[in-house]
Amino acid sequence: MKRDFLRLWDLRTEEISYLIERAIQLKQGVDSQKCPLIGRSVGLLFEKPSTRTRVSFEVGVYQLGGQAVYMTPSEIQLGRGESIPDTARVLSRYLDAIVIRTFQHQRLQEFAQHSQVPVINGLSDLHHPCQVLADLMTIVEQKGGLEGVRVAYIGDGNNVANSLLEAAGRMGFTLTLACPEGYEPSAEVLDEVREGSGEIMILRDPREAAARADVLYTDVWVSMGQEAEAEKKRERFRAYQLNSALLGCAKTDAIVMHCLPAHRGEEITDDVIDGPQSVVFDQAENRLHAQKALLEWLLGG
């Protein structure tokens, strides 16, 4: 039976732990000659532009011995009115897995419903599970594990925040989110994950959220597709900038994370993202290793 990866909540705790451990092994070169995707092809169907997701998946598929096929809707008949079910059925006949980067999460769910091969969420408006899988790997590398770790997310309750909520629910770490009123994470996701093992809090004061944090995490204030409300959001989020003063509220050995791209001078300052406590570019690199572990797990068995 095929497995999809549309959200972190799709996986059990032990499965996430395995993927983190395997990603670290792959990064260290364990089984570097193993090519579990020889003869396999992975489609990359992207409705949004991408740097890290596209390149890390293309390189990861290649390093595992497979072939990546990149597509945009305008390059296939989906852009001319072919239905999602028909597109999913046809691509399933050619490909062994499909990574989709889209706007509406419902489009991803509909595609997966009609696909005969695994579908991976490369980003949707509701979830960004591949990013947060790499984030968990980064925290384990830097902190030695997730048990007892306090993560503070500062900013917009977007798809990354939703996936971090699911990660905390599954993996048991403490997650505190500081968001302006009206910009909280999905209430539906929050209700689900409160039944998990992590301690989750949503606050208004970013300084209170950052206090005693082991990890300070932020993301852009204006995501793709939200450009019309850019000025309004920048005004509402002005007090939520991750700067040296906010970093000073956290533990002295706290690490700084950002999923990129960064709008320097808005949600994060240059001195913080380029500073000694930043692991932002290790975090970006780990997209490659975490996704290789995911592809191997889904297809290499």
- Domain locations in the chain as residue ranges: 8-128+287-299, 131-283
* Catalytic residue (one of 22, 52, 54, 101): 101
pTM of the model: 0.97
* Catalytic residue (one of 130, 287, 289, 291): 287
State the pLDDT at residue 242: 98
Average pLDDT, the chain: 96
Residue 150 pairs in a beta bridge with: 174
How are strands ordered across the β-sheet holding 67-71?
67-71, 41-46, 97-101, 119-123
**For this structure, is 219 an active site residue?**
yes
State the pLDDT at residue 40: 97
Interval 247-251 mean pLDDT: 98
What is each CA distance from 149 to 25, 118, 249, in whole angstroms?
22, 32, 16
More confident residue, 226 or 1: 1
**For this structure, is 130 an active site residue?**
no
Half-sphere exposure of 143 (CA within 13 A, CB side): 25
CB 100 within 8 A of CB 111: yes
State the pLDDT at residue 301: 58
**For this structure, is 127 an active site residue?**
no
Interval 206-231 mean pLDDT: 91
**For this structure, is 101 an active site residue?**
yes
In the predicted structure, residue 290 carries a pLDDT above the cut 90? yes
State the pLDDT at residue 23: 98
Interval 163-172 mean pLDDT: 97
More confident residue, 195 or 252: 252
CATH of domain 131-283: 3.40.50.1370
**For this structure, is 52 an active site residue?**
no
Superfamily of domain 8-128+287-299: Aspartate/ornithine carbamoyltransferase (3.40.50.1370)
